[in-house]
Amino acid sequence: MNLRRCAVLYLEPREELDIDWAALFAGTSTLAASTRWLALAPHLDREIEVDAADLAVLAAVGSSVWTARDEVAERHGAAVVDRLLAHGLLLAEARGQQPEQATAQDALRERDDTLRTLHWRPLAALAHTFSRWHDVRSDTGMEAPSFEELLERHGNPPPPVQQVASIGAAVPLPAPAGMLDEVLLRRYTGRNYDTSASLPLAVAARLLQRTFGAQELRHIGPHANVLKKTSPSGGGLHPVEAFVLVQRVDGLAPGLYHYHPLDNTLAPLRATTQDEAAALALQMVADQYWLAGAAMQVVMVGRVERSFWKYRNHQKAYRAMSLDAGHLSQTFYLLAAEAGLPAFITAAINDIDIETMLGLDHLRHAVIAVCGCGVAATGAREMVELRYGETGLGHVAE
């Protein structure tokens, strides 16, 4: 059997502090520190504790050239090699067996092969994998402190405007004016939605088509096309797909859909009841009930193979894909404001749970953020909304 190290592996020395009770009673330093070494491998999607013997093997085995297992076992011990193979930090070469004979080691190697063939930048793959949430709820870590609580906890924030050292007098600019002003100044983040109101189908359709839809198809090769959309995209690739959770849209059954940017259609993926859709929305946005009540949520998912086809192992590829989602969300906001609706975007989402809902592989698909919109609730508000020109808030657009 031949083996090699997994494609991407980072090691983190994690220090943990505890009370040294003996020292405490002796009247000396009361803190004791211990260090654990953790292996972080994106294809495994979990942390693995390793020891000095494991580290010696991982340092001795390369990630590109296959090495005979017997050689490594003879130098470092068979038990260490077997342990690292079981964890997936070492991988065994394929033996050519039938699919029904595939083993757990084959599955681990296939995950590693997927990471290799998609051309992830290693640091980006690490950050993407280990920043995803699973089942984060209000009772398991999600919190929404008010501005008052934040001020009490952290003191005053840095000033809203940075002061710079100028080499001369500031140059006054003409007052802004333009056709977009009315819509721009109506744009705000909604945190109080009417959970009994639905969106007209025409409004939902315009939001989806003008934000995520292709306005033009251009051929760049016999079997290669690019899309023209209303928002910019890194490399003109438009890798961000829209998956829609419908709660209350006239003419559409509640459930999960995929939006097709060329056909301007919604493909149903999972039918739900009204209550089930509401529960999915709450799970998606990690118990942010002030966002979950919107009539429609859109999950923005980056197809990494589309982006990394051009930007292979590139330092900026993952950042560019995140920027794409930001551009799309602002377009979505403006279209919602045009329709007289508040909108939202949040990255505080349960990525792993969304992947499960949609059947996505985190190495192939990056769940970036969730946006949405709906009819604003009337009357008293539970959460603060910064609307332009409102009494008590001043001329502020959030």
Give the CA distances from residue 75 to residues 64, 70, 79, 240, in Å, rounded to whole numbers and listed in that order. Answer: 20, 9, 11, 48
* Per-residue model confidence (pLDDT) at position 30: 67
Residue 241: which pLDDT band, with cuts at 50, 70 and 90? very high
Residue 259 pLDDT exceeds 70: yes
Per-residue model confidence as pLDDT tens digits over 93-138: 987 655 555 688 999 999 999 999 999 999 999 999 999 999 999 8
pLDDT in tens, 65-102: 999 999 999 999 999 999 999 999 999 998 765 555 56
User: Measured between alpha carbons, how far is residue 184 from residues 1, 53, 65, 175, 374 in Å?
Assistant: 63, 60, 56, 15, 18
Write the burial class of residue 300 (CB in 10 Å: 0-12 exposed, 13-18 middle, 19+ buried): buried
**In whole angstroms, what is the distance from residue 144 CA to residue 341 CA?**
23
Residues found in the chain: 398
Q: Does residue 381 have a pLDDT over 90?
A: no
What token pair was written down for 375? Answer: 């009819």
Check residue 393 and give its pLDDT.
Answer: 40
Q: What is the pLDDT of residue 19?
A: 73
Q: Where does the pLDDT of residue 397 fall: very low under 50, low under 70, confident under 90, or very high at 90 and above? A: very low
pLDDT at residue 97, as a whole number: 56
**What domains sit in the chain, N to C, each tagged with a CATH number?**
2-117 (no CATH), 181-395 (3.40.109.10)
Percent of the chain clearing pLDDT 90 (strictly above): 72
Q: Is the pLDDT of residue 398 over 50?
A: no
Which of 140-154, 179-193, 366-380 shows the lowest per-residue confidence on average (mean pLDDT)?
Answer: 140-154
Side-chain-facing half-sphere of 128: CA atoms under 13 Å: 28
For residues 334-354, average pLDDT: 97
Q: Which pLDDT band holds residue 396 (cuts at 50, 70, 90)? A: very low
- Note the pLDDT of residue 72: 95
Quick one: pLDDT band at residue 50, thresholds 50, 70, 90?
A: very high
Beta strands 240-246 and 265-271, pairing class: unpaired
**309-327: average pLDDT:** 94
Do 12 and 40 meet the contact criterion of CB atoms below 8 Å apart?
A: yes
In which band, very low, low, confident or very high, does the pLDDT at 395 lie, cut at 50, 70 and 90? very low
Exposed (0-12), middle (13-18) or buried (19+): which is 296, by Cβ within 10 Å?
buried
Exposed/middle/buried for residue 293 (C-beta within 10 Å: 0-12, 13-18, 19+):
buried
HSE-CB at 274 with a 13 A cutoff on CA atoms is 10
Give pLDDT tens digits for 260-312.
999 999 999 999 999 999 999 999 999 999 999 999 999 999 999 999 999 99
**Mean pLDDT to the nearest integer, 6-19:** 90
Write a three-state SS string for 311-365. CCCCCCHHHHHHHHHHHHHHHHHHHHHHCCCCEEEECCCCHHHHHHHHCCCCCCE
Rounded to two decimals, the pTM is 0.88
